[in-house]
Each structure stands twice: as structure tokens, then as C-alpha cells.
Amino acid sequence: MSNLDHATAFRASVEPTPRAAVTHRPLTGPGVLLTGGLLAQWQARSRDASLPLALRQLKAMGNVDNLRLAIAGAGGEYRGPEFMDSDLYKTLEAIGWEKTLTGDGAIKEFCDEVISLLEKAQLPDGYLNSYTQVTGERHYSKLATSHELYCAGHLIQAGIAHARGTGSTRLLQIATRFADHLVDAFAGKRAGLDGHPIIETALVELYRETGDERYLRLASQFVEQRGHGLAGDSGHGSRYLQDHLPVRQFADITGHAVRALYLEAGVVDVAVETGDVELLASSVARWADMVAAKTSITGGNGSRHFGEAFGDAYELPPDRAYNETCAAIASFQWSWRLLLATGEGRYADLMERVLYNGFAGAVSADGLRFFYVNPLQRRPDHFECDDPGRRREWFSCACCPPNIMRLAASLEQYIATTVGEVLHVHQFTGAHIDADLPAGRFGVDMTTEYPWRGEVEFRVRQAPAASCGLAIRIPGWSNGAWVTVNGQPTVNGQPVGAAPDASGYLTVSRRWRPGDVLTVAMDVAPRLTFPDPRIDALRGTAAIERGPLVYCFEQVDQLAGVHVDDLALDVSGQARLAGPGGAALAERSGALPGIDVAIVVEAAAAHLPRPADHGLPYTTRPDTTRPAGSPEPGGERVRARAIPYFQWDNRDGRAMRVWMPLHTTGGNR
């Protein structure tokens, strides 16, 4: 079975086979085109600003030159970390999904150049890795750290993107040759596991693309072989590599966050293609563990700088959160697979949280600078080693920027799916949607100012003659939603419904006609969010959210003399937050570059005395420390301004906070 001839249709990076045990299916037919909103802006920015930057950097940093050295054979001066090839592959994958780019001169030139180099560098047996070929390292001899199969996985994903996005199979052929070599080298053996997963999900997709079951079997083998010490030791122990237990035997997500999350994508892929309910359940359990106790409010994962790793349950520091950008992307990919498998809206909820906060915040407003680490707090005069913690144009370990680009280039894939005769819409943005349902093509135009406003309009452009359904995700953060069809809250005398079903979707099934309009209004009034008391690092604080957006307080937005770190939120009143969607003040700060909508809150700005006991910041006199709940709160009353988290660090590099101490106004201790 080959799908290579479908290249002109809408194709996605995840396309379960007809036999796969999934609830949702990606669209067939023309699919989705982004027409407006943040997602479309981000996609365009990535294409127009980020991608050209990547092409320059990949040449400047040696990624392309490493291939030339590999062609020349061992002995040259390899540059960068072992996995430099993967940055090329992720960029090629981005280009693959940017179908409109195939005609661009510079892009096409880069693609042709790199793919030609890859063809030449690939060894006769199909092996391809510039690091080992230049350094002379024995193939697969240091899998704990060499990233050889990790690079192979990204090559396969890039090849699939080119085939599905552009119709060109030249890169896929290189990838398939390498995959065949992997089958020869690893299938049915205990020949080792790559320390950094991604090969698993890549091989399943290659199976889906080619129909060759050897790739599925090898992916399954790699998944099942974890937990037996076959990944070796990278110096951080077995949990770091998710090699401490077989995946079926543990329910707590652990170790290096990106590795863990990429592995889970492969676990779900293998589970749905093999119909393995137990395997799927193990991944669902780890997702629930991650969400319940190891995920930042921004959707970020990985609490620890050391080992770029998940922490203990409820270890969620805002300042030291690592929240690697690649982890946000990997989480997004895992949740998408679970959404397809189960149809449960909670996975799309997390994807939205990640998308608008942890992922979006990783890119500067101009698309030219990137975060690798995405904390929820930056103190004044912050340093991590010599790094003040601002976005950077590129990194010596540059996994994140091209990863951002490949997701940005494929965002339209995550908008909608089908379940039988029902079109499901998961994310809200301007989009043309055309789904080929069994009953016929269902064309819907989505228009919205989301996330700035909560109203979303779905206008039917084309519909099957028979009844079909339009199912809208109602986000968990919304207090239900107000729905109308053609302006009426009822259809055939029945209320359309304001509450979603158990899966989180509100479905309207009827014989749709062109021109029919379904509207959904969600509650995007600013809201206060409180942390679970088990999260020690957030005790006595609250955050502000509005719709899917987490807000933050940046120093540059505050009144003169008011320090972000001295602010405490006043949450005593009812009209405690003012912002668009709320009742009171709409503040559009168009004058601030990159800042669309701000929220203004009442706060207390303290001028905190230093405890004088011993010089230490600990005292027996609670009145000078003002813990939450203390009788004398002190501090002058000021107005403080918050902006969407994803827009921080676009002006200066001063302090930022998401979680704000609560200002209390009395009561016993």
C-alpha cells in the first residue's frame, strides 16, 4: 500500500491506517487552510522570518558542511553536537509542510543542495550520519549518546513531510533506505536502543506511508525493549532514558522530558496500529500523571535544568522551570495522537494550552529569536551561568528553533478531524475547512477573533445532502458556551445545548445547508487561577488567565517605581480583574510592539524591609515578612498590568512573573 500518489490532497504528519484503533481521523479532501488569527500569523511569520534565518544558521554553524565532510569520508573537522543532522531534517520537514514554498528560489535551492548532499553522503548500505561518518565512530556503538537513530527518525519524518506536502519522494527514498538498513541492523535483535527516542513514531509513520510492516514491527520492538538496559548509560542513569522499566510497567512520567514525550508518541502510534489496549492505557496513565502533577500552567514540561528532566510530583517551580521548547512540541504531538486514539477533548485542551503559551512564548514577536528554556518567572538581574535568559537567535545545541518551524508549518493539521459523519473542530482560528465525509464534502468557514474574543462563527459553504454533524470543542476553562444555529438557540424546538458531552465536544447534527451559521461564544473573561496546595513553589499565589491565554506581569508594563517582585494581587473584590471579555476596562496597548491585549488589576506594591535579625532572610517576627494571611498587609495600592505570557521578553530583559503573591486584607493568622 502506498499513499504517495495522494500528494495533491490534504496530508498530515499523522495518518493512522484504516485498520488503526483510533476514534478520530485526519481530514481527507482539501482539508484545512488557515485564513486568519494568531495561528495563521505564526505560520506566516515562521515561513517569512524564521525559516530564512534557519537556512543561514544551518550553513553558518556547520550543519551543511558536516554533510560535505561526511561525503569526503572520516577525518574532517565535524562541528557541533552529535545530532547536527537532525536540525537539517527538522528544517527540511518544515519546508515539506510549507507547500507554498516549493516555488521559492532560495528555499528550493537549499532543499536541492541538502538533499543532494544527503544522497551522496548516504553509505551504500543505507546508513547516514555525518557525526559518525566524519569522526569515524563505529556505527551504533554509543547509542546512549550518539543520537544516530534520533537523526534517522527526523530524516524519516522529513521525508514523509516532503512526500505528503510537496509530492516529492526524493528525500523519502533516502529515509527509506536508511530505515531498511535499521531493519537489517536491529530487527529481531537486542542490538541496542537510541538514548533519544523519536525513531519509534517515525517508523510507524513510515509504515503508514509505505505499508511495509517491517517498520511497524521495528518500532514496536524499540518500544518494548525499553526498560531492559539496552539504551546504555548516558551519564544520567536509566530514568533519564526511560530505560528503568518496561513501558507497560510504570505510570509516572520521568526522566529527560523531550525523550519521554517523543517516546510516548511512538508508544501511542504502536498501540493504535497494533490494537494494543494495554499499551495505550500505559501511555494514557503517564499523560494523566504528567498533567496532574508535572505540567506548568503554560503547558510546559520538565521542572529541572539538571538533566532537562521531569521532576517529582508537584515539583513545579516557576523560576527554575526548564520547560524546554522541544518538550512543548513533543507534548503537543503526543496529545494529538491520544486525541485521535480516544476522541477525548482533554487532549485538545492541553494542546491549546501548550500552543498559546509554552509553544507560542518560545518565539519572539518578529520570529527571529527563540527560547530554549521557558520559565514562568524571571527575577531582576537573572543569570543562568552567563546567560541573562533572553531569547537568542540560535543555539550551539539548536534543536528548538527548527522544531518550532516544523510545527508552525503544519498547524493547520491540528484544527479538525472526522468521526464518521461528524466534523470535529479542536482549535479556533480563521480557517477554510473542507472534509470529505462518507456522505459527501462538508465545507465550513471558521471566522473568529479568538483568543482575544470568545465568539467563533462557522459558516457552511458546502454540505452533504444527508445529515451530518459539526462538533465543537468547548474548552475546559470556559463556563460552558452559548451556541446558536442561524441565530437561534434552538433547532427543531430543541435547545442546541450549552454544555459539552463527556468528551468535551458540543455536537450539532442536522441537514446543513450552504449559508447556515453556527456560532459558539465562550467565556473569555479574565479569571484567577489558584495552584494545588501541593505545589510548594506556588503557595499563596494566583495567576491570571483569559480564554486559553496565561497572562504575566512584566516589569516594563508597570508604573514607575513599582517593582514586579513587590506586587501582590488584590483579589478581595468582585470586579477584581478588568480586561477585554470582562465587564470593565478594555485596554488595547497597540503602542507596545507585540502586545495586543493587556489586563489591568488592582494590586498592592510593597516596599519590603529587609529582616534585620541576623542578616539572614528569616525572622521570628512575622509582621515584617507579611506571609499571606498575616494581619498587616501593608503596601500602597497600585494598578498593575498583565500581558499574555507568549508576548513576554519582546521589549526589555527585566523581571517577569506569571504567579503573583496574593494580597490579603485582614483576618487571623
CA atoms within 13 A on the CB side of 582: 21
User: Per rule CB under 8 A, is residue 315 in the interface with its own copies?
Assistant: yes
Task: Please identify, using beta-carbon distances, which residue of 258 and 309 lies nearer to its own copies.
Answer: 309
Which residues are registered as beta bridge partners of 498? none
- Angle (deg, nearest 10), helices 51-60 and 105-121: 40
Among positions 360-419, residues that touch its own copies (CB under 8 A) are 377, 379-387
Torsions phi, psi of 82, nearest 5?
-55, -30
Binding mask 458-497 for its own copies (x = CB under 8 A): ------------------xx--------------------
Could you tell me the smallest distance in angstroms from the CB atom of residue 660 to its own copies?
A: 10
Among positions 550-569, residues that touch its own copies (CB under 8 A) are 565
Could you tell me the smallest distance in angstroms from the CB atom of residue 483 to its own copies?
A: 21
Size of the site for its own copies (CB under 8 A): 92
From candidates 155, 431, 543, 605, binder to its own copies by CB under 8 A: 543
Could you tell me the smallest distance in angstroms from the CB atom of residue 353 to its own copies?
A: 8
Binding mask 335-354 for its own copies (x = CB under 8 A): -----------x--xx--x-
From candidates 72, 106, 277, 292, binder to its own copies by CB under 8 A: 292
CA distance 565 to 385: 22
User: Per rule CB under 8 A, is residue 540 in the interface with its own copies?
Assistant: yes
DSSP sequence for 440-457:
EEEEEEEEE-TTTSSEEE
Nearest to 247 by CA among 277, 278, 226, 219: 226
User: Per rule CB under 8 A, is residue 669 in the interface with its own copies?
Assistant: yes
Put the strands of the sheet holding 25-26 in their side by side order: 25-26, 416-419, 422-425, 468-473, 505-510
Distance of CA 295 to CAs 313, 322, 428, 438, 566, Å? 10, 11, 23, 39, 26
CA distance 407 to 614: 53
Could you tell me the smallest distance in angstroms from the CB atom of residue 5 to its own copies?
A: 41
Catalytic hit among 399, 400, 468, 552: 399
Could you tell me the smallest distance in angstroms from the CB atom of residue 56 to its own copies?
A: 25
Among positions 600-659, residues that touch its own copies (CB under 8 A) are 606, 608, 610-611, 613-622, 625-629, 659
User: Per rule CB under 8 A, is residue 572 in the interface with its own copies?
Assistant: yes
Q: Rounded to the nearest 5 degrees, what angle is found at the Cα of 359, between the Cα atoms of 375 and 321? A: 20
User: Per rule CB under 8 A, is residue 316 in the interface with its own copies?
Assistant: yes
C-alpha cell at position 455:
465568539
DSSP state of 83: T
Torsions phi, psi of 322, nearest 5?
-85, -55
Catalytic hit among 308, 324, 344, 352: 308
399: annotated active-site residue: yes
Could you tell me the smallest distance in angstroms from the CB atom of residue 619 to its own copies?
A: 6
Task: Please identify, using beta-carbon distances, which residue of 164 and 239 lies nearer to its own copies.
Answer: 239
Nearest to 174 by CA among 188, 186, 157: 157
User: Per rule CB under 8 A, is residue 77 in the interface with its own copies?
Assistant: no
- The β-bridge relationship of strands 422-425 and 468-473 is parallel
468: annotated active-site residue: no
Torsions phi, psi of 434, nearest 5?
-130, 115
Query: Segment contacting its own copies (CB under 8 A): 327-335, 361-369, 436-444, 527-535?
Result: 527-535
Could you tell me the smallest distance in angstroms from the CB atom of residue 283 to its own copies?
A: 15
From candidates 342, 357, 427, 541, binder to its own copies by CB under 8 A: 541
Nearest to 417 by CA among 15, 20, 4: 15
Could you tell me the smallest distance in angstroms from the CB atom of residue 476 to its own copies?
A: 4
Task: Please identify, using beta-carbon distances, which residue of 420 and 561 lies nearer to its own copies.
Answer: 561
Torsion of CA 155, 159, 165, 169, to 10 degrees: 160
User: Per rule CB under 8 A, is residue 138 in the interface with its own copies?
Assistant: no
Residue 295 burial by Cβ neighbours in a 10 Å radius (0-12, 13-18, 19+) = buried
User: Per rule CB under 8 A, is residue 531 in the interface with its own copies?
Assistant: yes
Task: Please identify, using beta-carbon distances, which residue of 49 and 498 lies nearer to its own copies.
Answer: 498
- The β-bridge relationship of strands 567-570 and 549-554 is unpaired
Binding mask 251-290 for its own copies (x = CB under 8 A): -x-x---------------------------------x--
Please, which residues have CB within 8 angstroms of residue 552's CB and are 6 or more apart in sequence?
A: 376, 642, 643, 644, 645, 648, 656, 657, 658
User: Per rule CB under 8 A, is residue 510 in the interface with its own copies?
Assistant: no
C-alpha cell at position 247:
513501558
Among positions 141-180, residues that touch its own copies (CB under 8 A) are none
Could you tell me the smallest distance in angstroms from the CB atom of residue 322 to its own copies?
A: 9
Task: Please identify, using beta-carbon distances, which residue of 458 and 477 lies nearer to its own copies.
Answer: 477
Binding mask 232-251 for its own copies (x = CB under 8 A): ----xxxxx---x-------
Query: Segment contacting its own copies (CB under 8 A): 20-28, 168-176, 431-439, 531-539?
Result: 531-539
Could you tell me the smallest distance in angstroms from the CB atom of residue 447 to its own copies?
A: 26
Helix (H, G, I), strand (E, B) or coil at 200: helix
Element (DSSP H or E) covering residue 109? helix 105-121
Q: Rounded to the nearest 5 degrees, what angle is found at the Cα of 50, between the Cα atoms of 47 and 51? A: 60
Task: Please identify, using beta-carbon distances, which residue of 267 and 291 lies nearer to its own copies.
Answer: 291
From candidates 126, 192, 317, 644, binder to its own copies by CB under 8 A: 317
Q: How far apart are the first and last CA of the chain?
A: 70
Catalytic residues: 308, 399
